[in-house]
Structure 1
């Protein structure tokens, strides 16, 4: 009746399992397969980012960490790159959008509007609930995927991802 050992379960039980972080593309970056094939991992984009949200990710490739702040779309990461890995800055920087998960305090009947306060474009709105706590919703047309709401969320209930990709 031996079923073998699941190494991910064992790692989880020992506290060593870390789910693989989703790689968030830099603004205006080519699709990941092209970007990762051409990126020299020189850290030029990391050093150039005034918001310090570009970090070394899996394999040393640059990725975004919105827990550190938001992307202002300044384009300094693009300018710092010596490789042809970015689209023209006249195009949309990406298709990323914010998503509010079930860990949101408002969904747990606790008043919090930190994400709305962090969103300069007011893409996050709170709908009144009769006799209850207002609940958040994101207006996709207004959301730039900048990540300001991620750093502002006390429960880390907000993720930024491409809405065309499946969420966990």
Structure 2
């Protein structure tokens, strides 16, 4: 039996495609040191990755500016930092009938709203088109019900 395959780490914003990122990154930690919100951490192999439980990405691009080998590269000012959005899982307190709106209160883009339910708890609705993937909703979630996923095939609303 071989080693288990690990899911790839969430790389810092504006990271190159994984193989090229691994090839270029020198593991110097400059991006980690430059991150004002301290969400960049050393991951497997010493490469930097994002830990949203520590906070959110403000997309300041300090990590990109500090990356001399250009493993993080922002080609133009309008380039998206990554193609991820939040998803709300079944562990969500509101989904389980317990009043909680902390993710919506934490979202700087107001991409998570709550749909009122007659005789029940308001249910979270994620506007995937408004989600920047900043991760502000992840750390405050008391049940860790929120994760980041590639924005491919993500539903724009959670049906209650």
* Range into which the TM-score falls when normalised by the shorter chain: 0.7 to 0.9
CA distance in 1, matches of 2:153, 2:29: 27
**Uncovered stretches (5+) of structure 1, i.e. residues with no partner:** 9-18
**Equivalent position of 1:141 in the other structure:** 129
Q: TM-score with structure 2 length normalisation?
A: 0.88
Structure 1 runs of 4+ off > 2 angstroms? 19-22, 163-166
Partner of 1:151: 139
Deviations 1:21-57 (A, max 9, x none): 6511211111111101110000000000000000011
Secondary structure at the residue paired with 1:144?
Answer: coil
Q: Which has the larger radius of gyration?
A: 1
Where does residue 157 of structure 2 map in the other structure? none
Gaps of 5+ in 2: 155-160
Partner of 1:65: 51
From the two aligned structures, give the one with the greater helix fraction.
1
Q: Distance in 1 between matches of 2:17 and 2:105?
A: 32
1:1-168 counterparts in 2 under 5 A?
20=6, 22-85=8-71, 86-90=73-77, 91-164=79-152
Deviations 1:72-105 (A, max 9, x none): 0000000011012213241111111000011000
Q: Distance in 1 between matches of 2:8 and 2:85?
A: 14
Q: What is the RMSD computed on CA atoms of the aligned residues? A: 2.0
SS at match of 1:63: strand
Distance (Å, rounded) in 2 between the aligned partners of 1:22 and 1:137: 28
Distance 1:165 1:27 in 2: 21
TM-score (normalised: structure 1): 0.84
Seen in structure 2, the aligned counterparts of structure 1 residues 98 and 83 have a Cα distance that, compared at 3 Å, is same
Measure the CA separation in 1 of the matches of 2:153 and 2:123: 24
